[in-house]
Chain A
Amino acid sequence: MDIAFYVTAAVTILATLLVITRHNPVHALLYLNVSLLSHAMLFYLLGASFAALLEIIIYAGAIMVLFIFVIMLLNLGKETAEQERKWLKWQVWAGPSLLAAVLFVELVILVSSSDGTAYEPAEVTPREVALSLFQVYLIGVELAAMLLMAAVVGAAHIGRHKRLVLHRFLKEEPEENVHEEEPVL
């Protein structure tokens, strides 16, 4: 089964790399989906089958759909890809990549300083997860529910189609003029 893990890990890394380098948003999104699915596979291999299912249903299913909706709404296509091509010069990505690489190297050093024995992944059944979730972490579940509620309300509020609102100090025309234009009955 080790081989399955390494293959999946390779797929994940490759897909993720492609996500952050694609110019076309739809392509990137598809690669992200691949990455998420391989994540699910990894979870499964680690004995977390419930998490693997959630990953596929919620992440790869629901959240990705949201992204696709937004991309369709904004009509991001070829022009965006062109623009991305112009933006992504090596001067732009060299520095950040180096930073990320340094961070990764540090992580490697820190992780490899532990003993690093191999282990048998224990199966954690959905039953155990559910019991833990609704007994020990009940408060957390409540909070998560509230968070989602707030997100729904917030998204609904922010997403409303508003006209450009300027702060009153930034308005060019004083309000007095508006009154003058009104016809006097």
Chain B
Amino acid sequence: MENLLWLIPALPLAGFLILATLAVVGAGKKITALVGAGSICLSALVTLVVGADFLGAAHESGTYSQTLWTWLEVAGLSIKMTLTLDALSLVFIFVITFIGALIHIYSAGFMEEDRDYTRFFASMNLFVFSMLILVLADNLLLMYLGWEGVGLCSYLLIGFWYEKPENGYAARKAFTMTRVGDTAMAIALFMLFYQSGTLVIGEISTAAPGIWTPNSTTVTCIALLLLAGGLGKSAQLPLQTWLPDAMAGPSPVSALIHAATMVTAGVYLIARMHVVFGLSEVAQTVVAVIGAVTLLLAGLTALTQHDIKRVLAYSTISQIGYMFLALGVGAWTAAVFHFMVHAFFKALLFLAAGAIIEALHHEHSMFKMGGLKDKMPVIFWTFMAGAISLAALPLISSGFYSKDQILWYAWGAEGGSPLLWAVALLGAFITAIYTARMVILTFWGEAKTEISHYPGKRMTIPLVVLAFFSVFAGFIELPHNFGHFTLFSDLLHGVMPETALRVDVSSEWIFQLLAAAATLGGIGLAYFYYYKQPQRLENLRQDMVLSALHEFWFSGWGFDKLYNVVFVRPFLAIAKLNKADVIDQLYTGIVAGTDGLYRLVARTQSGSLRWYIMGMVIGAILILGIQMML
């Protein structure tokens, strides 16, 4: 049954092709929904079958490859269309197809009223196909194909409601920002091929220790360039500014692309190339530091946002920061574990937020929501399930198990340090605050906006399923002092090394306790300021320093302004200077010269026979003259 692997990406592709045709022909919404969601659901089923078969077969190498055809064959470079399944890609395709299927079912209800229903599903299917190619690719070039494919789909879907100029702007911004990273990644691929002569990931991983001495400049360069690619896609510092604006797209898009799957492509890339990263301490440290700084910055920004989707966007950046931190300290499995858990709860939060926004006349501001606890119970409870996972409520939420692991490794792993741990703990505290703030503002208090309509079954069922996983997905990996159940990391250890510890494992409970305390403290703080005594918050707002800080954080630490001044303005200025197109002048000049000569010669065509003869005589004289000279 493993040989059905090709069906997993093929089904979404077929769905896309059918939908693209239907979009031209014009089709009913029912058939669109059936094809759009059906293809992903089938893909998810195939994933389950293939996955079960793969786990049962227990391959020696831990991978299963399926070569479909040769894509390129140029002097020494042979790129094959090969799909590779191993534990890491299994986790990813499971998340992509499963969450993808749920989100598609949700979208069938959510996008009901939209007139570009077919286009939406076509783009979504294409996205799922690209993402599956990205994670199933056996070589880096095929992966790059998927990488660019998801970028394109992200662009298409952010700008889905293209009538509004802001949405188009957001789409272009996302595309351009990620392009910066993609360029770096392409250079990394060139260097890898130049150095190792192959782009097949498995071969690179095997050959890497023989080619590069640890910590050599070359390997650090390659790792950093790959990292830059990951930073662009995963919206990490300094390329993070596109993600909050990407919320211009429909909520299911935010859930699928900008929370669950595409933005974690950077995590996948680094996890996939862990051998290369493992050879460079500098790159590892950079990954960890960027993760730590990003999680803190994004967390603080999330604290100040009004728009519920922007809060979630910044929290996504922050949570991916945790994953990078885990990758940086060498806790590979912890990062992937957090990716999976995060995919569940963040998709859930986005979908629930989308349902709320739609119910409230497309109201995005949390300050205009409130009192939804009793009016929308299903949404409330599912949102709560996601929120406790995001806040990492101790023991009962899966987010606790994944984040606690990262916090522990930030201290205890080989590459960890007290500073990284402190930042991560502070981040956890902030996460708890903004999560609680979001929940309190949205569901408690008095209702400020009337509910126009309630979400249907197609929207609530995926929410319930996701809520279940958000709470219970964490229990497949429990810490040693709490059941010591390591199903997930055991699965991945075939692909990625175990995390080396620098301190004894017995001290872990202290850190678990501290993490739990940070979470509870954060929730308590938010409860105190936003629910108990809101007037105190008003007093805080009066403070000059705090309000200035609020303003600064609200703008996302001024990164947009900075980039505007440093890059956008000078670029526009140069473009303006070169409006006349200096280089083009040369070619325009050639054209003008030819044109002028033509006019000159055409003038001699006077129609006067006498002049023609005269010309011939002068020509003869000249030729004879030259003859005489010679």
A and B touch in the complex (CB under 8 A): yes
Bitwise interface map of B from 594 to 622 toward A, beta carbon under 8 Å scored 1, else 0: 00000000000000000000100110110
Complex Cα–Cα for A95 and B197 (A):
79
B614 touches A110 (CB 8 A): no
| B628 cross-chain contacts in A, Cβ below 8 A | 106, 109-110
Complex Cα–Cα for A111 and B119 (A):
86
Residue of B nearest to A95 (CB): B614
Determine if B507 is an interface residue (Cβ-Cβ < 8 Å). no
Determine if B61 is an interface residue (Cβ-Cβ < 8 Å). no
Given A96-B614, A99-B614: A110 touches B621 (CB 8 Å cut-off)? no
Determine if B627 is an interface residue (Cβ-Cβ < 8 Å). yes
| A107 cross-chain contacts in B, Cβ below 8 A | 624
| A109 cross-chain contacts in B, Cβ below 8 A | 628
Q: How many residues of B contact A (CB 8 A)?
A: 9
Complex Cα–Cα for A103 and B622 (A):
9
Main secondary structure of the interface of B (DSSP, over half): helix
| A100 cross-chain contacts in B, Cβ below 8 A | 617
B627 touches A103 (CB 8 A): no
CB contacts between A and B, total, < 8 Å = 20
Interface centre among A96, A106, A109 (most CB of B within 10 A): A106
Residue of A nearest to B620 (CB): A103
| A103 cross-chain contacts in B, Cβ below 8 A | 617, 620-621, 624
A106 touches B621 (CB 8 A): yes
Determine if B625 is an interface residue (Cβ-Cβ < 8 Å). yes
Closest-CB distance, A100 to chain B (whole angstroms): 7
Determine if A70 is an interface residue (Cβ-Cβ < 8 Å). no
| B620 cross-chain contacts in A, Cβ below 8 A | 103
Q: How many residues of A contact B (CB 8 A)?
A: 9
Complex Cα–Cα for A175 and B544 (A):
90
| A99 cross-chain contacts in B, Cβ below 8 A | 614, 617-618, 621
Complex Cα–Cα for A99 and B615 (A):
11
Determine if A68 is an interface residue (Cβ-Cβ < 8 Å). no
| B618 cross-chain contacts in A, Cβ below 8 A | 99
Complex Cα–Cα for A107 and B628 (A):
10
Determine if A102 is an interface residue (Cβ-Cβ < 8 Å). yes
| A96 cross-chain contacts in B, Cβ below 8 A | 614
Complex Cα–Cα for A62 and B618 (A):
34
A110 touches B617 (CB 8 A): no
Bitwise interface map of B from 270 to 299 toward A, beta carbon under 8 Å scored 1, else 0: 000000000000000000000000000000
Residue of A nearest to B617 (CB): A99
Residue of B nearest to A107 (CB): B624
Complex Cα–Cα for A107 and B620 (A):
11
| A106 cross-chain contacts in B, Cβ below 8 A | 621, 624-625, 628
Which residues of A, 78-116, contact B by the 8 Å Cβ criterion? 96, 99-100, 102-103, 106-107, 109-110
Closest-CB distance, A144 to chain B (whole angstroms): 25
Residues of A within 8 A of B (CB): 96, 99-100, 102-103, 106-107, 109-110
Q: List 20 A-B contacts (CB under 8 A).
A: A96-B614, A99-B614, A99-B617, A99-B618, A99-B621, A100-B617, A102-B621, A103-B617, A103-B620, A103-B621, A103-B624, A106-B621, A106-B624, A106-B625, A106-B628, A107-B624, A109-B628, A110-B624, A110-B627, A110-B628
